[in-house]
Structure 1
Amino acid sequence: MKKIVVIGGGTGNFTLLSGLKTYPIDITAVVAMSDDGGSTGVLRDEFGVLPPGDVRQCLVALSESTDLMRKLFNYRFDRGIFFGHPFGNLFITAMERVTGNFEKAVEEISDVLKIKGRVLPVTTNDVHLCVKLDGRKIIKGENKITGYPLARHKKREFYLEPEGVLNPKVKKAIEKADLVVLSPGTLFASLIPNLVVKGFPEALKETKGKFVYVANLVNKPGATDNWYLEDYLKELKKYAGRDFDVVLFNTTEPARQIQKKYMDKKETLVKLKNKTLNNVLQLDLLSAYVPDNPEADLLKRSLIRHDPKKISEALMKFL
């Protein structure tokens, strides 16, 4: 059975995994462990647990349990002391407290949800994302970094504090994979927090499989204003230590009314400057589905998303 490793954060991983789980393949989802915003941030502060939110999304995506169970894990309380918390985040937190081990908690919940494949934290260390700007100013915490105008600074150096060590299970999965995929996601909050883990670039160099990037759809104002795909590739190579074998790039534009909502917030579509790059596949990867953003959600969610079926079909051609 062919092996695929999907690396990222919450929404990007969820999208890819939702499509890939319909194929007869061995799936490993690798999740960043630096999230400290929204419900996850509250639970980290209150209970000293590792971040559950992105892991929950991956578990739900790979679940072959009933629709009711998947809805339960994503159910977000809209009142009371649990306001803003998804049930799944609370469940993972409780399971970690009971088992005393985050990985063990994820394994147990994987059985409960009957997931296809496995979900692994990129590191089991309690880490926080930091960035050093122009060699001087330091910002600590993914949530603070996400809200900071990084574009004002020419030099940005990301790292983890304390230094996170690559989960040995992740290392083994990457090295044996037939395909290693970096999900779309917030560059500085979902992607780079995986790549800066000690030992991650080395594992990528040792993999026998193709290294693929599913390119982001939208630029984040204040961080990647008006970036082209080439800018993302340059920044990712800096931390991954290698080039991508293949890049999947969406060429379909969203509906005008959706684009307007983004333009009003100064969010622009990622474009391709050099349309003759050999390793870039230009495809229709856009989803027509527009998700709801419930009031109880403590974080803003993206309205422009990739289509799970289109992406999985494109990726399967490399296996």
Structure 2
Amino acid sequence: MNIFFKFKLDTKLKKSLMLGIIGAIFTIFGLSLLMNVIIKIESKVGLIIGFIALGSGFIFLSVKNLFNHAKQNRNLSDLGLVNKIYDKNILSRGIKVVVIGGGTGLSVLLRGIKKFTSNITAIVTVADDGGGSGKLREDLGMLPPGDIRNCILALADTEPIMEKLLQYRFKEGTLKNQSFGNLLIAAMVGISDSFEHAIKRINQILAVAGKVLPVTTEDITLYAKLKNGQIIKGESQIPLKALENNSSIEKVFIKPKNVKPLEESIKAIKDADVIILGPGSLYTSIIPNLLVNDITKSIRKSSALKIYVSNLMTQPGETDNFTVGEHVKAILNHAGKNVIQYVYANNESIPNEIIEKYREEGAKPVELAQKDMEFFSKNKINVIENNYIEIKKGYLRHNAFQLSKDIVNLVIEKKYSHDKMRFLELNSIVKKVKNTANSL
């Protein structure tokens, strides 16, 4: 219906549509006369054929005019209709990306990556036990849907009103603080063979660019051992208890220990051009995925570029006072070597008013220290710095477009410089995306 509102004031379109309506009337009238001839043999065949021919001609002119208008009128581009099929075809030729993590940071990055390729696999943690997800996990015995919901919405081709609906949280009653999107996933689980099957159906319904997969379909619980020796059970309790005990996290682990990943995830990692860890909560969103059997081993064996995207701010109870290098060391301590080749870090100053706002919450900027550079050099890890910050509604976020563009350019340079045709094809995609962004 929105299309017709856009066309309302366009005189040429009015004329084209009127031609079509007149043509349809003539054609219908001619066909009715033809039926009359066949049944009663009362009308002249020539007159009938004339009506049909005239009506068909009007319809042809109408369709032709509408098509030409669609090609020439840039207003249609605002609705995303002219280039949509072309864009989908082009993006399906983009690089193969696997992103591993969870939380808001991952969903922000996905919104940038999907502008450059639709060959995306998001492997998402299912260790969450707090909030609405935790409630559904407790009540229905299902895996937590929250992080998966956010990633699906980030990659989905939906109208803004649909996204608002799926993110809507009830404010009263027994459903208070529960999101509609979580309930949709729960309902889909109820009519599907498995959680995995339900997520695949949601991917299809919301026209997701790529796919979103749970890291495992088995029920897992995240634990943390603090440096004071205390063991904390539950993802939502870990940062709270670390702060309460004034003791940092030594390591995290999952129970049961020997859980299996989805075969689809392992294949995606094997075939990927690039594997991206983060951004996101270090101990509760990124590392839990690496503790699932065969995930880390598959990353090491993959020929993909392996990237870690550093967080912009520390997280109270998880990464207090951590530098970029300390984030990376924590990942390597849990996953072993050869899972990170490149680190992307912000080098732009964060406005003082934003720093003060986050300081009140116990967070501060994640810095790239000199000792980090020495560690990276020793371990043959490359650091790529740029302005990766964006401020939206007073909150600090990664500039997903700039970050994604830099990652895609790195992949093209490192993996396809020897393949001239593929190199040119991928660069043309990046150029088209940049031109589109500049024109907005």
TM-score (norm 1): 0.91
For residues 222-258 of structure 1, what are the alpha-carbon distances to aligned partners after superposition, in whole Å with 9 as ceiling and x for unaligned?
3322111111111111122224111110112322212
For residue 329 of structure 2, the aligned residue among 206, 228, 234 is: 234
How far apart are residue 9 of structure 1 and its match? Answer: 0.4
3-state secondary structure, aligned to 2:392: coil
TM alignment of 1:94-243, pairs within 5 A: 94-134=187-227, 136-149=229-242, 152-153=246-247, 156-163=250-257, 164-243=259-338
Shift of the alpha carbon at 1:318?
A: 2.2
Structure 1 distance, partners of 2:116, 2:193, is 34
Equivalent pair of 1:146/1:188 in contact (CA under 8 Å):
no
Cα distance in 2 for partners of 1:120, 1:47 equals: 20
Contact 1:201–1:239 (CA<8 Å) still a contact in 2?
Answer: no
Check whether the contact 1:36–1:44 (CA below 8 A) recurs between aligned residues.
yes
Q: CA deviation at 1:135?
A: 8.4
Distance 2:237 2:333 in 1: 22
Q: Give the AA of the match of 2:401.
A: K
Compute the TM-score of the two structures, normalised by the length of structure 2.
0.67
Could you say if the C-alpha distance between residues 208 and 25 of structure 1 is closer, same or farther in structure 2, counting changes exceeding 3 Å? farther
Tell whether the 8 Å contact from 2:242 to 2:249 is kept in structure 1 after alignment: no
Q: Determine the C-alpha separation between the residues in 2 that align with 1:282 and 1:308.
A: 14
Superposition deviation, residue 198 in structure 1: 1.6
Give structure 1 stretches of 5+ with no counterpart: 292-302
Structure with the largest fraction of helix: 2
For residues 165-198 of structure 1, the C-alpha deviation after alignment (integer angstroms, 9 at most, x for no partner) is 2222111111110000011111111111111112
The match for 2:112 among 10, 13, 19 is 19
Q: Deviations over 1:261-298 (max 9, x none)?
A: 1112331111011275551111100012136xxxxxxx
Displacement of 1:64 in angstroms is 1.0
Correspondence 1:285 to 2:379: no
8 Å CA contact 2:238, 2:317 repeated in 1: no
| SS of aligned partner of 1:208 | coil
8 Å CA contact 1:8–1:183 kept in 2: the answer is yes
Secondary structure at the counterpart of residue 197 of structure 1: coil
CA positional deviation for 1:98: 1.6
Instruction: Rate the CA distance shift 1:102–1:215 in 2: closer, same or farther, 3 A.
Output: same
SS in 2 for 1:158: strand
State whether structure 2 residue 162 is matched by structure 1 residue 66: no
* Alignment-mate amino acid for residue 143 of structure 2: L
Amino acid paired to 2:352: R
Query: What amino acid is the match of 2:141?
Result: G
Distance between the aligned counterparts of 1:236 and 1:111, measured in 2? 33
In structure 1, the residue matched to 2:349 is 253
TM superposition shift of 1:146: 2.5
CA distance in 2, matches of 1:13, 1:221: 19
Gaps of 5+ in 2: 1-92, 412-440
Q: In terms of mean alpha carbon deviation, does 142-151 or 225-234 score higher?
A: 142-151
State the SS of the aligned residue for 1:191.
helix
Mark the structure with the bigger radius of gyration.
Answer: 2
Aligned alpha-carbon RMSD (Å): 1.8
Query: Match for 1:161: what amino acid?
Result: K
Q: Does 1:264 align with 2:386?
A: no
> What amino acid sits opposite 2:194 in the alignment?
N
Task: Give the whole-Å Cα distance in 2 for the aligned partners of 1:149 and 1:24.
Answer: 39
Q: For residues 135 and 166 of structure 1, do their structure 2 counterparts lie closer, same or farther at Cα, with a shift above 3 Å needed?
A: farther
| Alpha-carbon distance change, 258 to 70 in structure 1, aligned in 2, over 3 angstroms | same
The one-letter code of the counterpart of 1:7 is: I
Kept in 2: contact 1:200–1:240 (CA 8 A) = no
Residue correspondences, number: 308
Q: In the alignment, is the contact (CA less than 8 A) between 2:251 and 2:334 conserved in 1?
A: no
2:88 maps to which residue? none
- Displacement of 1:205 after TM fit? 0.8
The answer to whether the 8 A contact 2:348-2:387 is kept is yes
Q: CA deviation at 1:136?
A: 4.5
Q: Distance in 2 between matches of 1:154 and 1:252?
A: 28
Does the C-alpha gap of structure 1 residues 147 and 210 become closer, same or farther in structure 2, counting only changes over 3 Å?
same
Are 1:131 and 1:138, in contact at CA under 8 Å, matched by a contact in 2? yes
1:97 to partner: Cα distance: 1.7
